[in-house]
Structure 1
Amino acid sequence: MSHPAARPLKGCPSPALKGLATVPGDKSISHRSLILGGMALGETWITGLLEAEDVLNTANAVRAFGASVVRQGPGAWKVSGTGVGGWRRPEDVLDFGNAGTGSRLMMGAMATTPVSAVFTGDASLRKRPMKRVLEPLTLFGTEYEAQPGGLMPLTVKGAVQAMPVTYHVPMASAQVKSAMLLAALNAPGTSRISQTTLTRDHTERMLKAFGANITVGPAEDGGEVISITGEAELKGIKIAVPRDPSSAAFPLVAALIVPGSEVTLTDVMLNPRRTGLFDTLKEMGADLEIRNAHDAGGEMVGDLVVRASQLKGIEVPPARVSDMIDEFPILSVAAAFAEGKTVMRGLEELRVKESDRLAAIIAGLRANGVTVEELPDGLIVHGMGVGGVPGGGSVVTHLDHRIAMSFLVMGFAAKSAVMVDDAAMIATSFPVFESLMKDLGAVFEAA
């Protein structure tokens, strides 16, 4: 897939942000809706799907395996699945663009069906570690051939006679856990997948909704064990995708740091394993209120009302990291406008995201006059208070959408505009980011 040419962009000092905004559908739920719909019997009707590049690449891959995936209208999609184990061999290479979640989950979904497929992606995805998913999948009988270091392009050969497995996920990764659960669907008997750190549980919730026999219980080490029965028969369902808390993080922090702002973000998912950023910002003194909380299809959603606040630095509890792993770039920007030091540890996973996200955060902060100490597993940001961040720097995004959005947000509240070297990649997760922020009053300038 060819990406558009680099598009430098500046986030400029902005007036108070005001208004109501609805961020796109949740990316994690969108990927899983398409994949499980493709593995189910009958029709799955999805509303509120995130129509960003990453998710559309997953839709194309599900289609390539033989399911019918049809867009009915904005955010409305119908998937007619093949049943578990019914996927056929794709005729062409599967190109996932920048979609780490889509590619890893699809490896799991096909791993116990006796077909083979070739996986590739953009320059960023081809650098990301896939062995962490591929190696445990071999326990089912799956085989693979990858580039040195377990990188894409790679070929996955699904197990001819799949076996159930017992596996402990060694790192805090919902993607590895989810790939194993999807693979277990077509392995006879019961597979048991355990984790010490509790990661986002969208796959478990959705598998239950589709009719899988799945139970979650406590493990002796304080983690949990997920048991799932294979040769499952999933049945198509209706899914209303809640709004993405990771996307909501950007207008939310913008409203906190631009003086005089008040913004309401509607129908945001409040799954307790995804709200670590909201909890952290509240501890830092954010005026953040949740209204109208209610259940929508097994996930809690609600409206976030956020007002400009004087934040104070804190030490983020390492136990919270897995609940907010994608939000550390924007939290680091919030920390720059806080009073005092914000300490973040336990961020090793950030070294293997779309970029070495930890290095990119530190370089971006320093380029804009913020003092930051690098730790082996994190960073300490020395806050400069409201209006205290100089800005004026240029940030290298390394094709990372969250780095791009975070530093554009910094520009709205800094003394001088902040430039990112490429805003084109924002389309992978939040295609309406610029228009949504402009509607609230934010100022951008082509660089």
Structure 2
Amino acid sequence: MSTASSPASPASAAHGEGASVPATALASGPLNGRVRVPGDKSVSHRALIFGLFAEGVTEITGLLEGEDVLNTAKACAALGAKVERLGEGHWRVTGVGSRGLSEPDAVLDFGNSGTGVRLMMGAVGGQPVTATFDGDASLRRRPMRRVLDPLREMGVAVVAEAEGGRLPLTLKGSVAPTALTYETPVPSAQVKSAVLLAGIGAPGNTVVIEREATRDHTERMLAHFGAHVSVEPHGPHGRRVTLEGGAKLKGAPVAVPADPSSAAFPLVAALLVPGSEVILTDVMMNAFRTGLIATLKEMGADIETLAERSEGGESVADLRVRHSRLKGVEVPAHRAPSMIDEYPVLAVAAAFAEGETIMRGLAELRVKESDRLAAVADGLAACGVSHRIEGDDLIVTGGGVRGGGPVKTHMDHRIAMAFLVMGLAAKEGVSVDDVSFIATSFPSFLPMMRGLGAEILA
């Protein structure tokens, strides 16, 4: 794989070879400017993986060049694709076809990326190859059985695994994967995607049933690369996704839109810091990714949608965000899949809102890069914010935020960014213990925020 100045592996940092980097965000003056956050992480992972599976060339623009995605690019190269970096965010993948994967010579190391490793397990599971998957200390703690269970039903053999179905583990893919109808036990786009990827080479239809609909980037990209996919409603909030077997994918161009999960941080910062006005360009507006925007608008946020358009099969728009007085709301559990990565920064917004904000159904936060529910609660406590956890619900009482810290980030990039955002509007600012892991998803976060006027010391 040809790359330019790839960042250090997150795995090495997690195993103690890299030093933590503390940082402090100070109460700032107005934030102003027009910025584009990096490309969407979910689409970036999938663009590389579908380029691996496709026949011919896939040209990708706007690719997120964070450590998580770079590790997926390395895995695609190890599995036989030709992966080239042509310029900033501009990559070319020459694929091997739907049954052409090569057996990798070494362990596939995904660093901190749950998305990369779970999707690639599905990709390898439907192929006649054996591969070992690993990651950093944080990723080794995350559950993999939710993916391994359906893959076993499709004929994939788990040759070796760490205790509890965790990394490192070795999969022996199926020579003839079995088509499967599978109802996901928890709302998870990663589980759904792994099953669909394993089903590409299966002779019959692979069906995934969701009681709560999750982000649909895999379905969209399957169709974009030439597969036949149908989607039907299932129950009040769910969907039934059917992939016709024997798909032959063809290389296709992918323009990656700006990541709404990354846009959430400057967006909330602009809402909280008095006098701010920020325009975020090219933000993905996929209906399964806009739960945070819908919630913030219910809270009274001044977010204006400009120039909505379609690019690369996804809806995108520019967002004008102005400082706003927020009020507490109740966020329903069925909205969680559309904003699961944004709850840490929503909790920060709630800390400044008038009254209580109740966030329902956050069980999935317990199995992210950290136990995010506990990490958010601990961070709120360190900054003097009144809150409580009731079952899987988080209730935050807003008001004046003292700030302080240090907030323990637990090697979680979104915890680090969320509490730095809090510091920009808190009376005493906020310190966090480590910002090194921000590079996994948003390597330009600190310079971008400083360019808008934020005072962040690191």
Where does residue 165 of structure 1 map in the other structure? 180
Are 2:161 and 2:169, in contact at CA under 8 Å, matched by a contact in 1? Answer: yes
> 1:246 is matched with which residue: 246, 261, 264?
261
> 2:277 is matched with which residue: 237, 248, 262?
262
Report the secondary structure of 2:152's partner residue. helix
Where does residue 314 of structure 1 map in the other structure? 329
Task: Confirm whether residue 2 of structure 1 aligns to residue 17 of structure 2.
Answer: no
1:257-336 to 2 correspondences below 5 Å: 257-336=272-351
CA shift digits 1:385-415 (9 cap, x unpaired): xxx2101121000000000000000000000
> 2:447 is matched with which residue: 426, 429, 435?
435
CA offset at residue 222 of structure 1?
5.3
Are 2:177 and 2:198, in contact at CA under 8 Å, matched by a contact in 1? Answer: no
1:84-233 to 2 correspondences below 5 Å: 84-144=98-158, 145-219=160-234, 223-233=238-248
- Which 10-residue stretch deviates more, 287-296 or 370-379? 370-379
TM (normalized to structure 1)?
0.98
Where does residue 424 of structure 1 map in the other structure? 436
Judged with a 3 Å threshold, the aligned counterparts in structure 2 of structure 1 residues 236 and 410 are, in CA distance, closer, same or farther, namely: same
Where does residue 408 of structure 1 map in the other structure? 420
Taking the aligned partners of 1:221 and 1:146, their CA distance within structure 2 comes to: 37
Taking the aligned partners of 1:219 and 1:375, their CA distance within structure 2 comes to: 29
Taking the aligned partners of 1:224 and 1:240, their CA distance within structure 2 comes to: 26
TM (normalized to structure 2)?
0.96
Where does residue 356 of structure 1 map in the other structure? 371
Amino acid aligned to 1:170: P
Taking the aligned partners of 2:444 and 2:209, their CA distance within structure 1 comes to: 37
Where does residue 392 of structure 2 map in the other structure? 377
Taking the aligned partners of 1:5 and 1:154, their CA distance within structure 2 comes to: 27
> 1:236 is matched with which residue: 243, 251, 273?
251
CA shift digits 1:261-290 (9 cap, x unpaired): 000000000001000000000000001100
> 1:389 is matched with which residue: 391, 394, 401?
401
Taking the aligned partners of 1:204 and 1:97, their CA distance within structure 2 comes to: 26
Amino acid aligned to 1:2: S
Taking the aligned partners of 1:33 and 1:317, their CA distance within structure 2 comes to: 31
CA shift digits 1:6-56 (9 cap, x unpaired): 000001111000111110000000000000000000000000000000000
CA offset at residue 219 of structure 1?
2.7
Taking the aligned partners of 1:292 and 1:183, their CA distance within structure 2 comes to: 38
Are 2:213 and 2:237, in contact at CA under 8 Å, matched by a contact in 1? Answer: no
Amino acid aligned to 2:98: V
Taking the aligned partners of 2:336 and 2:270, their CA distance within structure 1 comes to: 23
CA offset at residue 221 of structure 1?
6.5
CA offset at residue 382 of structure 1?
0.5
Let me know the Cα RMSD of the aligned residues. Answer: 0.8
- The count of corresponding residues between Structure 1 and Structure 2 is 443
- Which 10-residue stretch deviates more, 343-352 or 155-164? 155-164
Are 2:104 and 2:131, in contact at CA under 8 Å, matched by a contact in 1? Answer: yes
CA offset at residue 421 of structure 1?
0.4
Taking the aligned partners of 1:392 and 1:222, their CA distance within structure 2 comes to: 40
Amino acid aligned to 2:126: T
Task: Confirm whether residue 58 of structure 1 aligns to residue 68 of structure 2.
Answer: no
Taking the aligned partners of 1:374 and 1:164, their CA distance within structure 2 comes to: 41
Taking the aligned partners of 2:177 and 2:427, their CA distance within structure 1 comes to: 59
CA offset at residue 220 of structure 1?
5.2
**Can you give the 5+ residue segments of structure 2 that lack an aligned partner in the other structure?**
1-10
Where does residue 6 of structure 2 map in the other structure? none
Amino acid aligned to 1:31: H
Report the secondary structure of 1:78's partner residue. strand
CA offset at residue 74 of structure 1?
0.4
CA shift digits 1:213-250 (9 cap, x unpaired): 11111235652211112221100001100000000000
Taking the aligned partners of 1:60 and 1:150, their CA distance within structure 2 comes to: 24
- Which 10-residue stretch deviates more, 371-380 or 43-52? 371-380
Amino acid aligned to 2:406: S
Amino acid aligned to 2:401: V
Report the secondary structure of 1:124's partner residue. helix
CA offset at residue 294 of structure 1?
0.2
Where does residue 59 of structure 2 map in the other structure? 45
Are 2:237 and 2:334, in contact at CA under 8 Å, matched by a contact in 1? Answer: no
CA offset at residue 140 of structure 1?
1.1
CA offset at residue 170 of structure 1?
1.2
Taking the aligned partners of 2:207 and 2:457, their CA distance within structure 1 comes to: 52
Taking the aligned partners of 1:267 and 1:157, their CA distance within structure 2 comes to: 40
CA offset at residue 189 of structure 1?
1.5
Taking the aligned partners of 2:164 and 2:388, their CA distance within structure 1 comes to: 30
Report the secondary structure of 2:65's partner residue. coil
Report the secondary structure of 1:137's partner residue. helix
Report the secondary structure of 1:426's partner residue. helix
